[in-house]
Amino acid sequence: MGDHHHGPAKGLGRWLFTTNHKDIGTMYLWFSFSMFILGGFFAMIIRAELFQPGLQLVEPAFFNQMTTLHGLIMVFGAIMPSFVGLANWLIPMMIGAPDMALPRMNNWSFWILPPTFLLLASTLFMEGGAPAAGWTFYAPLSTTYAGPSVTFFIFSIHVLGLSSIMGSINIIATVMNMRAPGMTYMKMPLFVWTWLITAFLLVAVMPVLAGAVTMMLMDVHFGTSFFSAAGGGDPVLFQHVFWFFGHPEVYIIILPAFGVVSQIIPAFSRKQLFGYDSMVYATASIAFLSFIVWAHHMFTVGMPVAGELFFMYATMLIAVPTGVKVFNWVTTMWRGSLSFETPMLFCIGFLILFTIGGFTGLMLAIAPVDFQYHDTYFVVAHFHYVMVAGAVFSMSAAIYFWLPKWCGRMYNETMGKTHFWISFIGFNIAFFPQHFVGLAGMPRRIPDYALQFADFNMMSSIGAFIYGLSQILFLYNVIATIVAGKPVSDPKVWDGAEGLEWTIPTPAPYHTFETPPAVK
């Protein structure tokens, strides 16, 4: 058996035809980082235009294309694929499996992504420009009133959905069938648990999104009227279908982040995760609740009062399992033996900022008050606290935490910490003032604003530029580590790290766990 060991193939073929979970994970991570830079670049254009009142850089139509593409690329191109990349690298190593269960499909689910995003980005150069109806693309603005690029956009969403569904099926199959002997479900690392639940969410809701865009396609090209009242349809139907996908989608983004934080905080507290069982149950409850709260995004569409009450109560309930998680993380730190390397700093940053985002989420859940918050910058601030400080911070933590394991080289700690502090400060300068302008009455998705919002918008733009620049430092630090970082060979890398991935040699060999380990 040992004779068949071989390393990666040479040249471009290695990457094109690879079925190795580590190679595919690497490609996912690099791809998502490049999308993060692209989506971030669009955000910089948005913030530059909003630096002062008046139109300086771009015209309103182009501004709308920027907000739309920024949202789509960050959600579907940066955050989701980055966690799939992490899952690819880590799930087999965490459950003691040699690879993913469906390696060829794994290759395919990655390789259909780059052409799809190329297609989506190419709409910028089309007549009429890129889609401009927001990342939520409400009909009929996105159908009857959209430019010709909407058809390309619909096709992109279909293919992205395909990729996500394939990736999820792969993860479900791997976790269910390839755990090392002795690793029962309740012994799985929390990252694996959160991904298993996320994968089920994806399989459940991506087809719903596909349904929504298919109905759009029919309305645009084949004379149907799903979303047009003039033909007997209903524009609000679009919102119901979209958010039935969209709400679970935000948990799809945040659950793996919860998993990452649940791995890292115990490692640097040198103490076992507090309340493992309740973490699993809380994750499952959040996933269940995510299916029955969608219309809280639509409190102002004029639902019957009974509907408003139901969605308000159900949404408020989410605070319970989410609270349990936060309490568990804090209690894990309590009476631990803490140290503050970069991954831990990002996790603490996550904990503080995600909790603030959770609080504003609870505020938004209160339907009568939401009438004042809805579609303002308060909402923009809320979901950036959850998405950026939640998903992106935990992703940065994950990279710093596992990168030494992957490449056998240590990142530069000073540079890592600098990255954290610049990110943390820049992020708060960018997004905290957005709560204020939102409460003061500034609607979201506008290219220009009234004079009373000027000061906070300028502050917000400065913060955004700082945050954006800090990511260049991140990129530099990662490349410098891979090329010339200080070599590490200790399998554990971190003295407090626990789990099967820390039992294999550092750097992780191309093939691992060809013989399943025994789990006690």
Partner 1 sequence: MCFEAKRLLKLALGPVLMLISAVVLGYGPEEAQVNMAPGATEVGERIYDLHMIILWICTVIGLGVFGVMFYSIIYHRKSKGAVAAHFHESTKVEIAWTVVPFLILIGMAVPATSTLLEVYDNDDAELDILVTGYQWKWKYEYINENGENISFFSNLRTPQSEIHNSEPKGEFYLLEVDEPLVIPVNTKVRFLITGNDVIHSWWVPELAVKRDAIPGFINETWTLAREEGVFRGQCAELCGKDHGFMPIVVNVVSKEAYGEWLGAKQVEAAAIKELMAQTFTLEQLVERGEAVYARACLACHGANGEGGVGKPIAGSAIATGDIGAHLDVGINGVPGTAMQAFGGQLNDVDMAAVITYQRNAFGNNMGDMVQPIDVYNHKKG
User: Is 251 one of the catalytic residues?
Assistant: yes
The closest alpha carbon to 174, from 276, 98, 249, 121, belongs to: 98
Neighbours of 472 (CB within 10 A): 12
Q: Which of 122, 177, 455, 484 binds partner 1 (CB under 8 A)?
A: 455
Nearest distance from C-beta of residue 270 to partner 1, angstroms: 4
For position 368 contacting partner 1 by CB under 8 A, the verdict is yes
Coil, helix or strand for 172? helix
For residues 409 to 428, the per-residue mask of contacts with partner 1, x marking binding by CB under 8 A and - elsewhere, is --------x---x--xx--x
Q: Is the peptide bond before 321 cis (omega within 30 degrees of 0)?
A: no
β-strand partners of 486: 410
User: Is 163 one of the catalytic residues?
Assistant: yes
Q: Which of 162, 240, 436, 480 binds partner 1 (CB under 8 A)?
A: 436
The closest alpha carbon to 374, from 267, 302, 468, 454, belongs to: 302
Contact positions with partner 1 (CB under 8 A) in 220-279: 228-230, 234-236, 269-278
Q: Which of 68, 168, 269, 322 is catalytic?
A: 322
For position 348 contacting partner 1 by CB under 8 A, the verdict is yes
Contact positions with partner 1 (CB under 8 A) in 184-223: none
**Three-state SS letters, 325-337:** HHHHHHHHHCCCC
What length is written for the chain? Answer: 520
User: Is 262 one of the catalytic residues?
Assistant: yes
Contact positions with partner 1 (CB under 8 A) in 303-342: 305, 308-309, 312-313, 316-317, 319-320, 323-324, 326-327, 330-331, 333-340
Question: What secondary structure does DSSP assign to 92-128, as a single string?
Answer: HHHHT-SS-S-HHHHHHHHHTHHHHHHHHHHGGGSTT
Stretch that binds partner 1, among 37-45, 115-123, 445-453, 475-483 (CB under 8 A): 445-453
Contact positions with partner 1 (CB under 8 A) in 34-73: 53-56, 60-61, 64
For residues 127 to 166, the per-residue mask of contacts with partner 1, x marking binding by CB under 8 A and - elsewhere, is -----xxx---x-xx--xx---------------------
Nearest distance from C-beta of residue 115 to partner 1, angstroms: 29
State how far the Cα of 417 lies from the Cα of 407, in Å rounded to an integer: 20
User: Is 514 one of the catalytic residues?
Assistant: no
Look up residue 333 and give its two tokens.
């730190």
The closest alpha carbon to 164, from 248, 244, 97, belongs to: 248
Q: Are 405 and 506 in contact (CB under 8 A)?
A: yes
Alpha-helix residue ranges (DSSP H) falling in 222-318:
235-269, 276-289, 305-317
State how far the Cα of 106 lies from the Cα of 25, in Å rounded to an integer: 10
Stretch that binds partner 1, among 20-28, 39-47, 180-188, 360-368 (CB under 8 A): 360-368
Q: Which of 22, 179, 296, 374 is catalytic?
A: 296
Nearest distance from C-beta of residue 362 to partner 1, angstroms: 6
User: Is 396 one of the catalytic residues?
Assistant: no
Contact positions with partner 1 (CB under 8 A) in 79-98: none
Q: Are strands 486-487 and 409-410 parallel, antiparallel or unpaired?
A: antiparallel
Q: Which of 18, 156, 164, 512 is catalytic?
A: 164
Catalytic positions are: 70, 99, 135, 163-164, 247, 249, 251, 262, 296-297, 322, 325, 444
